[in-house]
Amino acid sequence: EELDPRAVEAAKWVDKEIRKLIEQIKRLGAAGPSGKTEVKYGHLFVETDNIFEALSGTLKTAKKYKVVDYPGELLYQGASDNVDIVLLKDSHDGIKVGRRRKRSFVNTGNAKIKGFNQGTAQNNKCHACSKTVYPNERA
């Protein structure tokens, strides 16, 4: 089955962002006690403010793919300025897209309104609570 093209494009964009992040950490960081490149979040944030739209989100995704490591889940400007970000990999293998399948959003006319009985316009009942639902109340 063919993958959703939007998911493929999103994966390409994330992959590109992670590769940019690796290059910036290499450029701004220095070898830490473990021998791996490290950089403080505050320094990275200030130096890359015109490069990344969402540095914290990019770091979170890079951590998920074991490209970087840092304590905690999410880093915040100001509060996390002294947190060390450790570069674990010098390259990135890429994002794998396997969950999103291409869907057809064409309405065949057989779609039912979820949660409502099919009946007359004056007597529609909610499946969840059995109250009458009037046409102007439909979402």
For every residue of 24-89, DSSP letters joined together read: HHHHH-EE-TTSSEEEEHHHHHHHTTTT-S-HHHHHHHHHHTTSEE-SSS---TTTTTT-EEEE--
- The answer, yes or no, to whether residue 95 has pLDDT greater than 80, is no
* Residue that wins the pLDDT comparison between 130 and 48: 48
pLDDT digits (tens, 9 = 90+) for 97-133: 766 555 555 555 555 555 544 544 455 777 778 788 8
Confidence of residue 60 (pLDDT cuts 50, 70, 90): very high
Per-residue pLDDT at 63: 93
* Residue that wins the pLDDT comparison between 32 and 119: 32
Confidence of residue 66 (pLDDT cuts 50, 70, 90): very high
State the average pLDDT over residues 31-60. 92
- The answer, yes or no, to whether residue 94 has pLDDT greater than 60, is yes
Per-residue pLDDT at 110: 56
**Most confident region among 35-49, 83-97, 115-129 by mean pLDDT:** 35-49
Per-residue pLDDT at 105: 53
Confidence of residue 62 (pLDDT cuts 50, 70, 90): very high
* Helix pair 5-28, 55-64: axis angle to 10 deg: 100
d(CA 114, CA 48): 46
State the pTM of this model. 0.66
